[in-house]
Structure 1
């Protein structure tokens, strides 16, 4: 049986990679791991996870995903801080979708020990 790699781009199977964060209670240990798991949540349409991992200060009241959007790949371009030893971090990435790509420099913070997405600069 062949196991497909996680949509986030790492070679592990989804269940062993981002799936464990989506299911809980495990949380992403770094800002990059959270970024990857959030990208994967967009691929899977997991709105609940996206909202749970969004900073309460900037989280929208609701999130409507485009059912026609087909994400095709994630490339991490750079990171700043965001390790187990930091309280803030940044991840610059390019997320490809059918017909284009999104380039963003995202900001992350820890809230109650867990990494959350704060906001980002598109086209960074």
Structure 2
């Protein structure tokens, strides 16, 4: 599922896809936990399941991803904080439509950096 270089990235940065999440999807290491989180949201939008699994920490990675039809509508990053030299959290709200209804996913995600690459570990959902 490719996007033209001039298309705005779905992550909400306002930047062209090729110069934003497209770089991380092509194999470049995301420079921060927030950049990785945005690229993972973008990968959900674009259906890049291999990327999602590859950027999920091996300790918590599922064998497969849920293939339920979801239309992602937008992302708002609320907070990004380093919790150590190689760990960080990112709080975000992602809006989506599934089963004909609108939903909000509000999560504080945990990330670890290993060998120069950030990985999603897990997250806590807000009520």
Normalising to structure 1: TM-score of the pair?
0.90
* 2:17 corresponding residue in structure 1: 14
1:114 correspondence with 2:117: yes
Kindly report the root-mean-square deviation, in angstroms, between the aligned alpha carbons of the 2 structures.
Answer: 1.7
State how far apart, in whole Å, the 2-side matches of 1:57 and 1:36 are: 21
Moved over 2 A (4+): none
State how far apart, in whole Å, the 2-side matches of 1:115 and 1:97 are: 25
State how far apart, in whole Å, the 2-side matches of 1:111 and 1:57 are: 12
**Structure 1 position 65, deviation (Å):** 2.5
Normalising to structure 2: TM-score of the pair?
0.88
**Structure 1 position 4, deviation (Å):** 3.0
3-state SS of 2:59 partner: coil
5+ long unaligned stretches in structure 1: none
Indicate conservation of the 8 Å contact 2:90/2:109, yes or no.
yes
State how far apart, in whole Å, the 2-side matches of 1:18 and 1:29 are: 11
Q: Deviations over 1:68-91 (max 9, x none)?
A: 200010000111117xx8200000
5+ long unaligned stretches in structure 2: 1-5
Q: Deviations over 1:43-89 (max 9, x none)?
A: 001000000000010001111322x200010000111117xx82000
Q: How many residues align?
A: 119
